[in-house]
């Protein structure tokens, strides 16, 4: 059997095409009105989809000279009759005679063809439903999230979940509703990562990350919060002895906050530093931001992590970095068991998608968000709601 699909303006047009291409014995299996073309669901043209078929023995023998008297309508009638005959034959097959075993094969073949056709039609109509679920408002959300540099796989998942909800409810969400649904879905995804902060158990908190992301400034902000607000006895340790000014920078904060500072030049100096700071309840360790690809740096970070005391390592990342670079750093540190992240410089960008990507893709627990240079004010605990509001813009809640 040969099956062919025609997309035409009206049925008579299809009938003459079928007759000239498949011949007078062709049957019409299905006709359906469809809409094609257009832009974002608008300006689509009405067309008719006609599926016609011809048994193989008749195929490729189109009517060479169509009768002048035969009208397309009567041809259509003939084809429908053919179709009825064909379907009766398929639905009520007469018992095959042993001499006509090949008839059974042929019927099976026809049944297979019809099944394939049915699957194809179902697929086509599903595709149309997908497009129908994608309203202008949902498109706007998709574009917004792409601008926010949310990873395509997360954008698609979010859009799909909203489109499905919209179809289930057989409604068209307004822009506010689309944004509300996006906010609640994001909140659900971020739920396991909420309120993680820095563990209250950890006595040693170790900050790592690329150069200039704000590690030292962040330590000063957090230390101020702990000493002034919570009256904790804080101590500083720095291994950042690579730049002359680096120790001075932390020493300045140490003097202002009245916090003792120990400088270590190698992991071997650590036990002495811990000894000196034995009285302190909380130790913040600053490291030099260096090329994270350097094996030396990695081994240093590793040996600093060897202490048996309750400790936590925080990866500091500036959101002004490139999404791809941030992902490379996150991947690198998560290999060494770093589970927590702190984002800085939120005041210097309006693109927030990378934060979501990093949390979800590397299973990193966000602790704080820093948004300015002022010590100690410009830092706050990571809150999913406020982050989602940043990501979705003013329409979020
Ligand atoms: N706008 C803005 N600037 C910040 C923020 N956090 C830190 N900075 C600034 O970023 C610059 C670098 O900060 P540092 O704290 O020295 O960064 P670091 O990670 O310790 O740098 P290295 O020790 O060189 O690796 C300083 O000028 C800070 O004031 C922030 O949240 N927003
Ligand atoms: Mg520093």
Q: Give residue-wise pLDDT tens across range 129-156.
A: 455 557 899 999 999 999 999 999 999 9
Tokens 């927030």 -> residue:
352
* Residue 45 main-chain phi, psi, to 5 deg: -95, 140
Least confident window among 49-58, 59-68, 255-264: 59-68
Q: Is 336 helix (H, G, I), strand (E, B) or coil?
A: coil
The Å distance, Cα 316 to ligand 1 centre, comes to 10
Structure confidence at residue 89 as a pLDDT band (50, 70, 90): very low
Least confident window among 65-79, 153-167, 243-257, 263-277: 65-79
The Å distance, Cα 321 to ligand 1 centre, comes to 13
Q: Give whole-number Cα distances, 347 to 11, 195, 384, 396, in Å.
A: 63, 22, 17, 19
Percentage of the chain exceeding pLDDT 70: 78
Residues with Cβ within 5 Å of ion ligand 2?
Answer: 215-216
Q: For a substitution probing ligand 1, which of 352, 373, 378, 379 has the most ligand atoms within 8 Å of its CB?
A: 373
Q: What does the pLDDT look like over 19-44, one tens digit per residue?
A: 888 888 888 888 888 877 766 656 67
Q: What does the pLDDT look like over 317-353, one tens digit per residue?
A: 999 999 899 999 999 888 878 899 999 999 999 999 9
| Pairing mode of beta strands 45-54, 27-36 | antiparallel
- Among the ranges 76-80, 311-315, 361-365, which has the highest mean pLDDT value? 361-365
**Ligand 1 atom closest to residue 249's alpha carbon, by position in its atom list:** 16
- CATH no. for 195-381: 3.40.50.300
Domain spans of the chain, in order of start: 2-133, 136-192, 195-381
Structure confidence at residue 395 as a pLDDT band (50, 70, 90): very low
The Å distance, Cα 350 to ligand 2 centre, comes to 25
With 0-12 / 13-18 / 19 or more C-beta atoms within 10 angstroms meaning exposed / middle / buried, residue 374 is: exposed
Which residues surround ligand 1 with Cβ inside 6 Å? 211-217, 240, 246, 288-289, 344-345, 347-348, 370-373, 378
**Ligand 1 atom closest to residue 219's alpha carbon, by position in its atom list:** 15
**Ligand 1 atom closest to residue 378's alpha carbon, by position in its atom list:** 31
Pairwise CA distance, residues 184 & 384, whole Å: 11
Judged against a pLDDT cut of 60, whether residue 366 lies above it is answered with yes
Atom 4 in ligand 1: which residue has the minimum CA distance? 373
Q: What does the pLDDT look like over 372-390, one tens digit per residue?
A: 999 999 999 999 999 999 9
* Beta-carbon contacts of residue 98 (< 8 Å; ≥ 6 apart): none
Q: What does the pLDDT look like over 250-283, one tens digit per residue?
A: 999 999 999 999 998 877 888 899 999 999 999 9
- Tell me what pLDDT residue 90 has: 38
Average pLDDT over residues 66-84: 45
Average pLDDT over residues 224-241: 91
> Who has greater pLDDT, 195 or 16?
16
> Which-ligand-closest: CA of 289?
1
The Å distance, Cα 307 to ligand 1 centre, comes to 27
Cβ neighbour number for residue 262 with a 10 Å cutoff: 21
Q: What does the pLDDT look like over 212-224, one tens digit per residue?
A: 999 999 999 999 9
Pairwise CA distance, residues 102 & 107, whole Å: 9
Q: For a substitution probing ligand 1, which of 207, 208, 212 has the most ligand atoms within 8 Å of its CB?
A: 212
- Tell me what pLDDT residue 74 has: 46
Q: Which two tokens stand for residue 56?
A: 């193989």
The Å distance, Cα 71 to ligand 1 centre, comes to 83
Would you say 48 and 31 are in contact if contact means Cβ atoms under 8 Å apart? yes
- DSSP for 95-160, written as a single string: PPPGGGHHHHHHHHHHHHHHHHHHHHHHHHHHHHHHHHH--HHHHHHHHHHHHTT--HHHHHHHHH
Q: For a substitution probing ligand 1, which of 207, 213, 214, 249 has the most ligand atoms within 8 Å of its CB?
A: 214
> Which-ligand-closest: CA of 220?
1
> Which-ligand-closest: CA of 250?
2
- Among the ranges 18-22, 42-46, 183-187, 203-207, which has the highest mean pLDDT value? 183-187
Judged against a pLDDT cut of 70, whether residue 79 lies above it is answered with no
**Ligand 1 atom closest to residue 379's alpha carbon, by position in its atom list:** 31
Judged against a pLDDT cut of 80, whether residue 102 lies above it is answered with no
The Å distance, Cα 160 to ligand 2 centre, comes to 43
């Amino acid at each position: 059997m040969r099956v062919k699909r025609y997309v035409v303006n009206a049925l008579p047009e299809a009938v003459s095409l079928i007759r000239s291409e498949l011949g007078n014995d062709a049957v019409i299996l299905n006709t359906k009105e469809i809409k094609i073309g257009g832009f974002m669901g608008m300006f689509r043209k009405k067309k008719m989809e006609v599926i016609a078929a011809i048994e193989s023995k008749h195929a490729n023998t189109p009517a060479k000279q169509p009768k002048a008297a035969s009208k397309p309508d009567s041809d259509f009638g003939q084809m429908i009759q053919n179709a009825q005959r064909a379907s009766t034959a398929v639905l009520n097959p007469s018992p095959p005679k042993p001499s006509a075993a090949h008839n059974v094969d042929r019927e099976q073949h026809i049944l297979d063809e019809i099944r394939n056709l049915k699957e194809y039609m179902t697929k086509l109509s599903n595709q149309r439903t997908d497009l129908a679920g994608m309203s202008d408002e949902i498109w706007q959300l998709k574009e917004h999230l792409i601008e926010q540099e949310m990873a395509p796989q997360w954008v698609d998942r979010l859009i799909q979940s909203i489109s499905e909800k919209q179809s289930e409810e057989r409604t068209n969400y307004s822009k506010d509703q689309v944004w509300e649904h996006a906010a609640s879905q994001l909140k659900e995804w971020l739920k396991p990562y909420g309120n993680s902060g820095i563990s209250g158990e950890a006595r040693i908190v170790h900050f790592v990350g690329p150069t200039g992301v704000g590690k030292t400034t962040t330590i000063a902000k957090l230390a101020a919060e702990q000493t002034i607000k919570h009256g904790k006895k804080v101590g500083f340790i720095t291994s950042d002895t690579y730049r002359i000014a680096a120790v001075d920078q932390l020493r300045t904060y140490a003097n202002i906050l009245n916090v003792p500072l120990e400088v270590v030049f190698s992991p071997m100096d650590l036990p002495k530093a811990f000894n000196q700071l034995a009285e302190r309840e909380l130790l913040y360790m600053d490291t030099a931001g260096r090329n994270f690809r350097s094996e030396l740096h990695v081994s240093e970070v590793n040996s600093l992590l060897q202490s048996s005391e309750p400790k936590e390592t925080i990866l500091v990342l500036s959101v002004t970095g490139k999404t791809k670079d941030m992902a490379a750093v996150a991947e690198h540190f998560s290999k060494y068991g770093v589970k927590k992240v702190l984002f800085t410089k939120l005041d210097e960008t309006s693109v927030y998608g990378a934060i979501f990507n990093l949390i979800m893709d590397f299973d990193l627990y966000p602790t704080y968000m820093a948004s300015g240079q002022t010590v100690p004010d410009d830092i706050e605990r990571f809150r999913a709601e406020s982050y989602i509001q940043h990501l979705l813009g003013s329409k979020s809640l």
